[in-house]
Each structure stands twice: as C-alpha cells, then as structure tokens.
Amino acid sequence: MNKSLRNKYIVFACIIVGILVLDLVTKYVIDGMFKEGTGVSAIPGLFNIILVHNFGAAWGIFEGSQAMLIIMSLVFLGIFIWYFVIEKRKSWLLFITFAFLCAGCLGNLYDRIVFGYVRDFIQFAFWQSFPIFNFADVFLTFGVIMFIIYLLIPLFKKEKQIVDTTGKIVIEKMDNKKEDAEISDNDIQELKISNEQKSLENKENILNDIENNAEVVSETEKMEDSEESQKQTDKADKNKTANKSKKVTTSKMKNSKTQNKSKEKSKKVEKIQKNSKNSTKK
C-alpha cells in the first residue's frame, strides 16, 4: 500500500470515528437533558431541539419493525463496504462519501440495537412537518448526495473528454492548417532559394560550357592550324621532291641529248674519214 492510499484510509477511519462520537455524544446529552417530546429553540427561525424516540424510519414508516430496519441497515452497510472494496477509482471523494454513509448507518444501527429506537432531536423551525433527525441522519443524507455526485462525475468527464477531444481536434486542425500555411510559405521560400541556386548553377554551368567550348575551339583551331601547316610543309616537301625529280630528269635528258649529239658527231667524223680514205684509194 502506497503512502497516499494509506493516508486516505487513515482519514476514512478518523471521519467515521468523529461522526460516531459527535452523533452518540449529542444523543446522550440531549436524551439526558430533555424528556421525549420536549425541547428548546436552538437557533430561532432555523432549528429547534426536540427529543423524539423514533421506532421506525423517516416520517414514522416501518414503525415497530426494528428487526427489519436492523437487517436493512446491515444490508445497506454491507453493500456500501462491498462497493467500496471493488471500486478501482479510490479517490478522496469516494473515501469521504463512504465514511459519511458508514458512520450514519452505524450511528442509527447502534440506537436500534441498544435501545430499540433512534434518538432524534433536530427540527427545522421553518418546516416543522419535516421529520426530526439527528447527526447520523445528516451525514447519511450528505453521503447519499455525494455518492450520486460520485456516480455522475464519470459521465461529465466523458462529455468533457468528448468536448475536449473535439476541441483539440479542431485546434489541431487549425494548428495543422497554420503549420501547412507556414510550411507552404517555407516551401515557397525554399523553392525560390533553390530556383535561384539552380539558376546560378545553370549560369555557372553555361559559363563553364562556354569556356570549355572556347578551349575546344581554340584547340581545334590549333589542330587545324597545325594540320594546315603540316599540309603546307608536306606540299613544300612534295614540291621540292618534284623539282628535284624534274631537275634530275632534265639533267638526264640533257645528258642523253649531249650523248646523241656526240654520237652524231662521231658518226659524221667516221663518214668523213671513210670518204677521205675512199678518195685516196682512187
């Protein structure tokens, strides 16, 4: 048993003992001071003190049936104790309520068992037709009212929970809408920032592409220039080789011509020599 529950039981027992002492002591004092049917005005216009020996219940019902009233008191007391034991929600209201109920039942039960009647002495001065009662009846009545309130509290709590939950749902929806609006604004800002970043990145990429293309163009131009220069050098080499071959061929042709001329001259010389020989022979 935890400390809070132990404190509740201590308060429960103290309330029962206190009510019983108050009820029995006042009954004893009033029964000793007054005779039955006599009394005095305690608070003018509010309360009178008149001693009455009640052999029944309120308004004199079940008069002369003390055994049945004792059995009924014990049955109600047993029901109170049983409900108190099985009840899981042992709140302060439950402890105080059942302390009032048990103390009221025990106070009147003591009178019925010991005296065969209940000693009542409190009367409403402004409502004298109302049954005369005692402190046990007062606390018993308050206990019944508090027990009804105790039984109704869960119903109010459920309704409150429904209202709270619906209110929470509405509030959550409003908060969600606000959050969605904030999120949308944030998303718009993020999108703007991302778009700007993307545009900057695209610009950078375009500039990089332009630079790369320029480098490629320059390289290709260099390659083309180198190819053209190579072609020019190749042409020059070819021209040189062609000129050389032409020179060689021309020199060969000149040599062949000179050889032919020398041959012709030698032939002429031979003819002349032959002619000269022939002439000498003649």
Asked whether the predicted pLDDT for residue 206 surpasses 50, the reply is yes
120 is catalytic: yes
Distances (CA, A) of 10 to 105, 147, 148, 251: 19, 20, 24, 146
Per-residue confidence band for 213, with pLDDT thresholds at 50, 70 and 90: low
Taking the domains of the chain in order of start, what are their residue ranges? 3-161
User: Cβ(13)–Cβ(103) under 8 Å?
Assistant: no
Catalytic residue among 23, 111, 120, 185: 120
Angle 3-33/92-114 helices, nearest 10 degrees?
30
Helix or strand holding residue 56 (H, E)? none
Phi-psi region of 49 (alpha: psi -120 to 50; beta: other; left: phi over 0): beta
Tens of pLDDT along 133-178? 999 999 999 999 999 999 998 888 776 666 555 556 555 666 565 5
pTM for the model: 0.54
Tens of pLDDT along 33-45? 999 889 899 898 8
Torsion of CA 103, 106, 108, 111, to 10 degrees: -140
185 is catalytic: no
pLDDT of res. 99: 94
Asked whether the predicted pLDDT for residue 243 surpasses 70, the reply is no
Asked whether the predicted pLDDT for residue 120 surpasses 60, the reply is yes
CA distance 107 to 136: 6
Catalytic residue among 137, 164, 180, 187: 137
CA distance 132 to 11: 29
Tens of pLDDT along 56-88? 776 566 676 778 888 988 998 899 889 988 888
Rounded CA Rg of the chain:
68
Asked whether the predicted pLDDT for residue 281 surpasses 60, the reply is no
